[in-house]
Amino acid sequence: MPPAPVPPAPVPAEPVGRSWYVSTKGSDGGAGTLAAPLRTIGRAAALARPGEVIRVLPGVYAEELVLESRGSGVAPITLRGEGTERPRLVPKDRVRGAILRVQGRWNLENLHLDVAGASMFAVLFDANAVQSVLSGSELNGGTAGAGVCVEGARDITVRNNHIHHFIKPGDDSHGVAVVGPARNIVIRDNDIHHNSGDSIQCQPGSGPADGVLIEGNTLHDEGENGVDIKQCLRVTVRDNVLSGFPNTAIRPAGSSAGEAVVIHASARDIVIQGNAISRAGRGVSVLDGSTPAENITVEGNLFQDIRNVPAGNGQAIRIEGARTVRVVGNTVEGTASYGLMLAADGRSVTGLEVRNNVLRGGSQSLLLRLGAAGYRPGLLMRENQYASGGVLKGDGANFPGEQLILSSPERLEVWRQVLGVDTGSSVLQ
């Protein structure tokens, strides 16, 4: 059964309450009007009530704020940068964990959060944050573990932001980190790049994160991976463009396999669908662990230029060990190693379905490596298309060198007869 879908994020309503204006030329003794603005965002945040909007005029604001809850079930307060030149928020004393720590319900819009080398998050949605939104903003320059951290919060949307250059020397700093038990998190239409860790990491805290939608983003040129999913539930990675992993200018090769998407550590109910993946050490990896990942769908993705960086990689889809995995309708064009490497790491993949995939590459290209029968119980494999002249390998299969070169459709028939799989599959001409 496919994983349950993640519910869509609601679109915030336009605020209807009063406006509080903030300007670098204002005074915190002012009325907070456009004619008599306040000087600090902190003063405006203390005065604003649910349904109201704080309008921050261009300028540099050295502040570290806790945006407190106003109670449950209330309208959000909106913190909005005014004009095409976003107001820039920078650390003040560097004593807090984030420039903006969000509690309760807040909409953050059109801001520039420049962490300026501090070991801080740009934005932290803590466990008290609910139905909050970060949109239309630029975030950069921190040296903590992430640019945006969603830690135990629920119903959070991170949309249409530019998140870049969070670099912790020799260690991970992710663009967005989702930490359990966060629930119902939407990360959509962002440009995330040049961080020393992953574009997006989903990881456990006091419990697993549950219900994460990663959609329509451009994720690229990271020190490690694009999306790293570990011990998370109901995660959908859909219609993203992922490329450039690992970026060895930021992180030495070897700290990760440079995967566009990696799924491991008992993750469950995961969908990887409709993504364009290129220039990566691996495309999608499902790795074994003490508790295997379960109920994984890899469907309708395009893989191009999957490279052997770091050495020993180069697979578009690598399923090392898991339960109930569907590899369906993917297109693979150009890999340094096998396009599909399935149950070939000496670990069991139960309930594996492989169908309707297209593996291109031409003469002598490594198309598919399939593990020995004991490592793939319940395998269903059919209706795939393979490049003429490409190489198929079946571990323990009874043909020379365990490899078969698809020099003709008749050779594919040999593959089918020896391994007993791939009914309805064909050779591309």
pTM here? 0.95
What is the structure's pLDDT at 7?
55
Q: What is the phi-psi region of residue 83: left when phi exceeds 0, alpha when psi lies from -120 to 50, beta otherwise?
A: left
The better pLDDT of the pair 4, 277 is held by 277
Q: Is the pLDDT of residue 362 over 80?
A: no
Render pLDDT for 145-156 as a digit per residue (tens, 0 to 9).
Answer: 999 999 999 999
Q: What angle do CA 259, 276, 193 make, to 5 degrees?
A: 60
Q: What are phi and psi of 290, to 5 degrees?
A: -60, -35
Binning pLDDT at 50, 70 and 90, where does residue 9 land? low
What is the structure's pLDDT at 1?
52
CB atoms inside a 10 Å sphere around CB 273 = 19
User: Rounded mean pLDDT of the chain?
Assistant: 94
Binning pLDDT at 50, 70 and 90, where does residue 376 land? very high
Q: How far apart are CA 320 and CA 323, in angstroms?
A: 10
Binning pLDDT at 50, 70 and 90, where does residue 255 land? confident
Q: Where are the domains of the chain?
A: 338-429
What is the structure's pLDDT at 2?
57
Q: Is the pLDDT of residue 4 over 70?
A: no
Q: Is the pLDDT of residue 57 over 70?
A: yes
Virtual CA dihedral for 284, 288, 289, 294, nearest 10 degrees?
Answer: 80
Q: Is the pLDDT of residue 401 over 80?
A: no
pLDDT average, residue stretch 173-191: 98
Render pLDDT for 266-316 as a digit per residue (tens, 0 to 9).
Answer: 999 999 999 999 999 999 999 987 789 999 999 999 999 999 988 889 999
Q: Is the pLDDT of residue 321 over 80?
A: yes
Poorest-pLDDT segment among 69-73, 184-188, 363-367: 363-367
Single-letter residue type at 384: N
pLDDT average, residue stretch 225-252: 96
What is the structure's pLDDT at 354?
98
